[in-house]
Amino acid sequence: MAGNITYTMLKPDAVSANHTGAIIKMIEEAGFRIVAMKMTKMSAETAGKFYEVHKERPFYKDLCAYMSSGHIVPMILEKANAVEDFRTLIGATNPANAAEGTIRKIFAKSIEANAIHGSDSDENALIEGNFFFASVDKF
Ligand code: CMP
């Protein structure tokens, strides 16, 4: 059965463009409850650890530099069928392919600076949530 928790973070392009409030409004209006949230900044080393799964990909180095270039807003969200419903709300990784009305279609600048992250599985939601917040299961 699908879990009720997902992990997200607003990326440096969205935060620096002052879209934090508008994106959070869309998240809440879509029925997600924010159960953990902070504004922080990753070092390139921390970004490297977070994205370790992509370390063989050609975009890994640029991605780590980009994700440590400014503030981010990590959040844990709660809703029935959270992972799948949230990925529908944010749209495709490449904003050029994202559906109308999705967060990435509205706010993302490029495939790298794509405004927001959303976990791709219940398992990764817990791993990623625990990366930024202690003991996700308490939520
Ligand atoms: P996300 O799915 O949140 O996590 C992995 C990130 O890598 C992805 O968002 C993009 O920001 C980035 N990414 C994925 N594919 C590419 C690509 N082909 N070129 C550059 N960045 C990418």
What's the pTM value of the predicted model, to 2 decimals? Answer: 0.94
Mean pLDDT, range 15-33, rounded to an integer: 98
Mean pLDDT, range 11-34, rounded to an integer: 98
Structure tokens at 45: 């080393």
Task: Give the number of other Cβ atoms within 10 Å of residue 57's Cβ.
Answer: 11
How far is the C-alpha of 104 from the C-alpha of 41, rounded, in Å?
21
- Give the model's pLDDT for residue 134: 80
- Between the CA of 93 and the centroid of ligand 1 the distance, in Å, is 7
Q: Do residues 33 and 78 lie in contact, with contact meaning Cβ atoms separated by under 8 Å?
A: yes
- Between the CA of 22 and the centroid of ligand 1 the distance, in Å, is 22
Residues with CB under 6 A from ligand 1: 59, 63, 93, 111-112, 114, 117
Average of per-residue pLDDT values in the chain = 95
For residue 17, give the amino acid letter.
A
Domains with residue ranges and CATH for the chain = 5-134 (3.30.70.141)
How far is the C-alpha of 54 from the C-alpha of 35, rounded, in Å?
27
Nearest CA to ligand 1 atom 13: 112
Mean pLDDT, range 29-45, rounded to an integer: 97
Nearest CA to ligand 1 atom 6: 112
Q: 74 in the Ramachandran plot: left (φ > 0), alpha (ψ -120 to 50) or beta?
A: beta
Site to substitute for ligand 1 among 69, 97, 112, 127, most atoms within 8 A of C-beta: 112
| Dihedral pair phi/psi, residue 102, rounded to 5° | -80, 160
Nearest CA to ligand 1 atom 10: 112
Nearest CA to ligand 1 atom 20: 112
Task: Give the number of other Cβ atoms within 10 Å of residue 25's Cβ.
Answer: 10
How far is the C-alpha of 47 from the C-alpha of 109, rounded, in Å?
20
Q: Just list the catalytic residues.
A: 117
- What is the per-residue pLDDT across 39-92, written as a single tens digit (0 to 9) for each? 999 999 999 999 999 999 999 999 999 999 999 999 999 999 999 999 999 999
